[in-house]
Amino acid sequence: MGDRQRLRVLVLNQISALGLKRLPGDGYSVGKDLPEPDAVLVRSADLHGMEIPPSVKAIGRAGAGTNNIPVPLMTRRGVPVFNTPGGNANAVKELVLAGMLMAARNLPAALRFVDSLDPTMADMDRAVEDGKKAFAGLELAGHTLGIVGLGKVGCLVADAAIKLGMHVFGHDPEITVDAAWNLPAQVKKATSVTEVLRHSDFVTLHVPLVEATRGLVGKNIDQMRMGAVLLNFAREGVVDEAAVLEALASRRLASYVCDFPGPALNRHEQVIALPHLGASTREAEENCAVMVVDQLRDYLEHGQ
């Protein structure tokens, strides 16, 4: 088959080979630099402001969020955007658990402390004793986790937290708690974000970034329990960073755990900032690649 007869898929990020190989070579040209592509496949590339050629019939995003894609513009052009809700939910859930444990057990500070020790020092036992006292933490069991956003990730986090012996409060600004995807019965239903903030030792956010969720947690941090931990594995814009810094200074917040580095956050000793690692596992990358490629193929080949 000549190249012009093949469907062209422009791939703007690294996408797992397990997904890409579902585009058979006799029917598809796949590459980083293809003229007049039929489809665009991205992970985190920001398509806002980018010229999207009129030849494009569909866009695929290997991930749940679509805020890096001008969805309303594409909708006006009749171009569907396919994403992969749930494809990386387990990976995000596991990192949220790690985030809670990192904060509860002071792990980043303890690691920095050990790193600062001279390995040849004479009194290592004494240093270990000092560290043991300085970084004593608390257990998750018996504490309350508040979850804002009860989609696939929020529900998996709820389930895992309950199994770890935590009490869980849940709220979703968009859907009723009863309609939440797969919420364990033990989750207490909160009617507002404020109610979640008031009753929780840990609060984790799992909402998409849309106009209604921009700055969802900001001044209302003053409703949180003293010494609470806020986790943001959703999107940077969901939390007002200035309000977080104030709350860290007043010790209202003991820690802010987030999946987005930023100049004011990176070296802050109460902040644990990660480089958008939530979905970065081999399994999640493979799941999302397969899910999104299959959707693109169905649409390109069958129009559905």
Beta strand segments in the chain, E: 7-11, 28-31, 39-42, 58-61, 81-82, 144-148, 167-171, 188-189, 202-205, 228-232, 253-258, 271-273
One of 166, 279, 296, 300 touching ligand MLT (CB under 6 A): 279
Query: For ligand MLT, which is the closer residue by CB, 166 or 272?
Result: 272
One of 8, 43, 93, 297 touching ligand MLT (CB under 6 A): 43
Q: How far is the CB of 280 from ligand MLT (least distance, A)?
A: 6
Burial of residue 18 (CB within 10 Å: 0-12, 13-18, 19+) is middle
Residues 6+ apart with CB under 8 A from 156: 89, 90, 92, 93
- Could you say whether residue 206 binds ligand MLT (CB under 6 A)? no
Q: How far is the CB of 17 from ligand MLT (least distance, A)?
A: 16
Closest CA to 15 of 45, 41, 46, 38: 41
Q: How far is the CB of 34 from ligand MLT (least distance, A)?
A: 22
Q: How far is the CB of 63 from ligand MLT (least distance, A)?
A: 3
What is residue 61's three-state secondary structure? strand
Q: How far is the CB of 45 from ligand MLT (least distance, A)?
A: 10
What is residue 217's three-state secondary structure? strand
Which one of 61-69, 102-110, 111-119, 136-144 is the stretch in contact with ligand MLT (CB under 6 A)? Answer: 61-69
Query: For ligand MLT, which is the closer residue by CB, 180 or 279?
Result: 279
- Could you say whether residue 16 binds ligand MLT (CB under 6 A)? no
- Could you say whether residue 65 binds ligand MLT (CB under 6 A)? yes
Determine the Cα angle at 121 with ends 117 and 125, to 5°. Answer: 80
One of 7, 20, 22, 44 touching ligand MLT (CB under 6 A): 44
Footprint of ligand MLT on 75-104 (CB under 6 A): 88
Residues β-bridged to residue 170? 147, 189
Angle between helix axes 107-116 and 89-104 (nearest 10 degrees) is 60
- Could you say whether residue 63 binds ligand MLT (CB under 6 A)? yes
Residues β-bridged to residue 257? 231, 272
Question: Residues interacting with ligand MLT, by CB under 6 A?
Answer: 43-44, 63-65, 88, 276, 278-279
